[in-house]
Amino acid sequence: MKRKKMLFVLAAALLLGSGAYALSGEDVKENTPKATLADQNWVFTQAVSSDPMNPENYAEGSTTHCTGVLNLCGIKAPADENGNPIIEPNSPLAQRIQNKDTSQGDVFLRND
């Protein structure tokens, strides 16, 4: 009788332990924050074309020289896996680039 009781307690402990382990694994997956991409400064170089929506027309660099109100000088955006800025079509950033809207601090203009 004592042996059956001990086996029962051992089996219950194993069962509870494995259940707790499985639950803790699910919690970690659900509660782990997704990585966010850091914004970088990009200078509009027109390397491929004059299209400001083409990410290949930008080079990573300082935008401190971008002072003015007339022409696109640079943007602030995260990099994609190819080392180009992420400019999603019809995104708020894309709209600000097209409208030369500097109100969010991620579009920079120059006067020349």
Same domain, 6 and 51: no
pLDDT score of 37: 82
Extract the tokens encoding 2: 């004592």
* Longest Cα–Cα distance in the chain: 93
Per-residue pLDDT of the chain in tens (112 residues, 90 and over written 9): 565 555 555 555 555 555 544 444 444 445 544 556 899 999 999 999 999 999 999 999 999 999 999 999 999 999 999 999 999 999 999 999 999 999 999 999 999 8
Extract the tokens encoding 15: 């069962």
Same domain, 67 and 18: no
Please give the single-letter amino acid code of residue 61: G
Q: What is the CA radius of gyration of the chain?
A: 27
Same domain, 25 and 44: no
29-55 pLDDT, tens digit per residue, is 455 445 568 999 999 999 999 999 999
Spell 69-104 as b/e; 16+ CB within 10 A means b.
eeebbbbbbebeeeebbebeeeeebbebbeeeeeee
Range of the domain at 65: 39-110
Domain total for the chain?
Answer: 2
Percentage, residues of the chain above pLDDT 90: 66
Same domain, 3 and 46: no
- Please give the angle made by the CA atoms of 40, 35 and 93, to the nearest 5 degrees: 45
Cα dihedral across residues 18, 24, 27, 33: positive or negative = negative
Contact yes or no for 56/47 (Cβ under 8 A): yes
Entry pTM:
0.68
